[in-house]
Amino acid sequence: MRLELYLDLLSQPCRAVYIFAKKNDIPFKLCTTEVFKGQLLSKEFFQINRLRKVPVLKDGDFILTESSAILIYLSSKYQTADHWYPSDLQARARVHEYLGWHADCIRGTFGVPLWTRVMAPLIGVPVPEEKVQRNRTSMDRALQQLEDKFLGDRAFLAGQQVSLADLMALEELLQPVAVGYDLFEGRQRLAAWRERVEAFLGSDLLQETRGPILNILEQAVNKKVPNPPPEVYPYMLLRISRIP
């Protein structure tokens, strides 16, 4: 039975998993599960993940959630190149150090602009400017720490080679960029890092992965974003209410 990956490419962690699997030629069946079409709420998906989230990995009977856990699992099972998840004790610790901080300071924060600029207005629930500003401040703070503490004068976030840390960070940072907020502007070190990571991953793969997220702003402008089905609304409203 083939490895299955349940992904919505609008989601940052899903893109990280997709890119990793593709870049490493890991054979899998893509089970696209679209959040805004209510597909997380289906009975079938509930059997896959009761927490109703993506990404999910299904390897035979083994079901795994959490993007970082999935990435580590894939790197171990398919014995990917060492730099992704180094075997060296201290180098590996650096990856985990980044992933821990990422969970607190990146996740939840960089996804907000998609909501403030596209999804909340789509369902007629605009987010107050005060919250937009607060989110900007949070992103700025995180980006400063990213540049100073994690990147420093190194080529990549956890060392001198691309690792899982860079993949996770890149797709998160891309989210606001995709909806028109260029957070790389005025941040040369981060922009240079981005270029290095993207050069390593390859533009074809990135274009393929980012199709949906790069299109969504244009779709929104042309009023072509499909209306989410009613059963998704409570979840969307909950997410919007959680924006600090």
Supply angle C-alpha 132, 217, 8, rounded to 5: 95
> Which of 97, 191, 205, 219: binder of other proteins (CB under 8 A)?
97
Q: Are 143 and 106 in contact (CB under 8 A)?
A: no
Instruction: Check binding of 244 to other proteins (CB under 8 A).
Output: yes
155 touches other proteins (CB under 8 A) = no
Stretch that binds other proteins, among 101-109, 178-186, 209-217, 230-238 (CB under 8 A): 101-109
Please, which residue, 66 or 198, has the CB nearer to other proteins?
A: 66
Rule CB under 8 A: say whether 92 interacts with other proteins: yes
CA distances to 125, 141, 172, 173 from 121, in Å: 5, 26, 21, 22
Residue 235 binding other proteins, by CB under 8 A: no
- Residue of 145, 161, 215, 219 that binds other proteins (CB under 8 A): 145
Q: Which of 103, 192, 199, 221 binds other proteins (CB under 8 A)?
A: 103
Q: Which of 1, 89, 153, 203 binds other proteins (CB under 8 A)?
A: 89
CA-CA distances (angstroms) from residue 176 to 36, 140, 144, 165, 185? 18, 12, 16, 18, 12
What is the secondary structure of 110-124 as a DSSP string?
A: TTHHHIIIIIHHHTT
Alpha helices for 40-88 (secondary structure H):
43-48, 67-77
Minimum Å gap between C-beta 65 and other proteins is 6
Strand pairing category for 4-7 and 29-32? parallel
Decide: is 7 part of the binding site for other proteins (CB under 8 A): no
The count of other CB atoms within 10 Å of the CB of residue 88 is 10
Instruction: Tell me which residues touch other proteins (CB under 8 A).
Output: 50-51, 62, 64-69, 72-73, 76-77, 89-90, 92-94, 96-97, 99-101, 103-104, 107-108, 145, 148-149, 244
